[in-house]
Structure 1
Amino acid sequence: MPRYGFLLFWLMMCATLSSCALPGAYVPELLASSTEEPYTLAAGDRLRVIVFGQDAISNSYTVDGSGHIAMPLIGIVPAAGLTTQMLQHEIAARLRNGFIRDPRVSVEVEAYRPFFVLGEVMTAGQFPFVEGLTVQKAIAIAGGFSPRGYQGEVDLTRDFGGVSVTGRVPLLQAVRPGDTITVRERIF
């Protein structure tokens, strides 16, 4: 019976000590990805599509949850995972196919999809993305750290080609549209 008592004590100590360790690790993909990489579209992005000489088609379109935009004449156009330049070519090709002889198309991001801040902040939620955003600025937008918030690194989740990657990043890490920042609770 004393063996079980020692084993139970040992298991409780391991569980207590493991809760003090900070989970997660630095993920090179998150640290290496920069804001200089071409921006790929995803659900929630609002686009301004201009077809020169065609005011009826030129308009703002939002990428829907399935990653598409719906345009007059050409219907549903896949946009998720494409850059704005790739989408321009796709729209022009579809318009050229029986609708407009030589379409000139321009696509620009009117409003980026939001980013999210969760965990130990004053006001968790989704927020509109702004250029030049860092983790530190994103936490400030969310009202700052709560009294229990760990002010070292945070967990950042980013989508890489349909795969979500989460890793530990410093507060000066650049934030991209659609990122989720999770502020952990400090131990003491």
Structure 2
Amino acid sequence: MVGPPASGVETLAGLLAAHPELRVFPADARVIERVAPSAVPDAYRRLAEAAGVPRGVRWVDPEPDNLLHARALLAAFPQARFLVVTRAQERAEACLTGRMGWRQGARRRLAEATAVGLEVAGWPEALLVEDEALRGSAQATLQRVLRFLGLGWDGALDEALTRFAPHLARRL
């Protein structure tokens, strides 16, 4: 799962974590930044084993910075699927301003990351997920994501939608 900062990656990851056939890694795992490209598959396998992820269960890595490493991830995992999460530029800017204030070049970096995300979203291995669609119609958006991943709906997602309802109702 990739996306620029403040795009909604955490929200979608939180919802997908409820699906029994998916395991969401901690967002700060930063696996691809810590090892040589040839060691990426083994590093992810070790992380999955350490987390007790059973074989056959799919992993979700919600680290937004993976956007910058999407090509390397696809090379390491040719069967990978990418969920590219985006948010309207003005909403992302407002969210970042509220979270951390403006830092030098933040607007430019956000625009660049969004452009890279839209490029990746054009790949056949990728699906564009707009945060606005998730907030406006969470169940339909999740169903679309699950179809892309080849997974069916699970009742645990109903509970997750209820739990996340207050968060999804917020507009920033």
TM-score class, shorter: under 0.3
Larger strand proportion of the pair? 1
> How high is the TM-score relative to the length of structure 2?
0.22
Q: Which has the higher contact order (CA 8 A, sep 6+)?
A: 2
- State the TM-score, normalizing by the size of structure 1: 0.21
Q: Which has the higher helix share?
A: 2
